[in-house]
Structures are given as C-alpha cells and as structure tokens.
Amino acid sequence: MKLDDVTISKMIVEGFTKDFLDYMECDVAIVGGGPAGMTAGYYLAKKGKKVVLFERKLSIGGGMWGGGMMFNKCVFQDAAKGILDEFSIRTTKSSDGYYVTDSIETVSTICSKAVQKGLKIFNLISVEDVMIRKENITGLVLNWTSVMLAGLHVDPLTIRSKCVIDATGHAAEVAKIVVRKIGKKLNTTTGDILGEKPMWADIGEKSILKNTKKCYPGLYVCGMASNAVFGAPRMGPIFGGMLISGKKVSEMIS
C-alpha cells in the first residue's frame, strides 16, 4: 500500500468532524475527565445514554496520574472495591483494609473501559459558558483550550444536552459560571458556591456522596466539585469517593 499524506489528513478531519457533529446533540454532557467524570461517563454509556465528555487538557485523568505528591499510587477504601473490580483494575490490599492501585493502570483502564462502553471523549476543549433556557441548563459553550491559552479573540461553539455534569474537580468551573452569569441561584444554603474546606479524608469522602446531586436545574455535580459547591473538606489522594460519586450521579440521571 502506497501511503498518501493528504489522504491521511483528510481522514483525520473527516473523522473528527463526523464525531463532533454527532455529539452536538446528546443526552448527557460531562465537563472534566478526572476519575469522577470518567466513571460517570462509563456508567451512563453502559445504560445506553448518548454521553460526551469534554476535557480541557491533552490527557484525561485529572488529578489521578500523580497519586499523592507524584508518588503514583492511588488509595481506595473498601466501598469502592466493587467499581475497581468492574473495571478489572488490579489492587493490593493493605493490612488496614485499604486498597492500593497503580495510578497509571487506574487512569488508563477507566478511560479505555469508558470509551469502549460508548463514552465519547473530546480532549483539548474547554467549557467556557453554559446555555440556559427557561432556568434550565440545556447545553455547553466550547472553545479550544489553545485559543483560551493564547488569549485569542475567537468565538466559541455550542452543543445541546438534556443535562450537564460538572466534574471539574476543585475548581467547580461550571457551577461557578452559573453563579457568575445569573447570580446566586444554586441549590446550596446561600445560592452561592460554599467553597472547599481543609483536608479531612474521612469527612471529605463521606460528604462527597451526599453532595453528589443536582445543584441547578439541568446541572449535576460530582467528584471533588461536589464538595467545593456544597462546602465540605478535601480528601487528598484517596480516590474511592470520586468513583462512587461518578457512579452515583449516573444513577441519579438514569
């Protein structure tokens, strides 16, 4: 076979454009490809939903690759073992009952399983705004991360989805956009983002489950963003809550 450079380029542009057009209308749009967002995407795809995930960076995985302080191990509690098993991620059980995984295996496996189940991931795209109709989030406003980094004046594009999940981690970026654009109307005690509290793994991990919920019509929050929106502690490099939160939000939406 004689390879043709321009044919290769055409295949890339055609393939990407076809996918991008296809996912401009979907059931669920997830913002952020960390452990919570990818787990949510896996379970939603498994339920047959048309689900897309936008990740700002070149690589998915969020804060998981680096384990804790770049020691690339992840720790999980017992409650998350079933999800690790569902993904066939290998674990080492400690005498205290924690499970330790290799962070590289964990991120790459969750991503691979989610994509093969049907989650569509677009990387290098940042969500910069939301579409709101009749006080309901109905879609996302996207731009290339490189455009934003370069500070170029380029208008974005918009996609429509039946609901949106904010899985942007500590920054809770989608919830912040809502407050910035339409005021303190979130489903919190003040309507505002309550803010993340200092490190406390035990309370942080327990809170994340109750904080995984709808925070505005059409907008759900999961993972670390839940504790940032609803005012609960961070938990550092224990990742069970992220997977459980991702699964929980998928069940709420399904």
Q: Let me know if 152 is exposed, middle or buried by CB neighbors in 10 A (0-12, 13-18, 19+).
A: exposed
Q: Tell which residue, 162, 250, 169, has the closest CA to residue 213.
A: 250
C-beta of 41: minimal distance to ligand 48F in Å?
11
Of the two residues 33 and 139, which places its CB atom closer to ligand 48F in the complex?
33
C-beta of 10: minimal distance to ligand 48F in Å?
28
C-beta of 138: minimal distance to ligand 48F in Å?
17
C-beta of 5: minimal distance to ligand 48F in Å?
32
Q: Are 104 and 65 in contact (CB under 8 A)?
A: yes
Of the two residues 39 and 138, which places its CB atom closer to ligand 48F in the complex?
39
C-beta of 11: minimal distance to ligand 48F in Å?
26
C-beta of 153: minimal distance to ligand 48F in Å?
19
Q: Which amino acid is at 252?
A: M
Of the two residues 66 and 217, which places its CB atom closer to ligand 48F in the complex?
66
Of the two residues 63 and 218, which places its CB atom closer to ligand 48F in the complex?
63
Torsion region of 241: left, alpha or beta (phi above 0 gives left; psi -120 to 50 gives alpha): alpha
Tell me how far apart the alpha carbons of residues 225 and 170 are, in angstroms, rounded to a whole number.
5
Residue ranges of alpha helices (H) inside the chain are 5-22, 35-46, 81-86, 103-117, 145-150, 173-182, 201-211, 224-230, 240-253
Q: Are 142 and 125 in contact (CB under 8 A)?
A: yes
Tell me the two tokens of residue 111.
């991503």
Residues at the contact surface with ligand 48F, assessed by CB under 6 A: 31-37, 54-57, 62-64, 126-127, 167-169, 171, 173, 223-225, 234-235, 237-239, 242
Of the two residues 9 and 94, which places its CB atom closer to ligand 48F in the complex?
94
Beta bridge partners of 44: none
Of the two residues 55 and 186, which places its CB atom closer to ligand 48F in the complex?
55
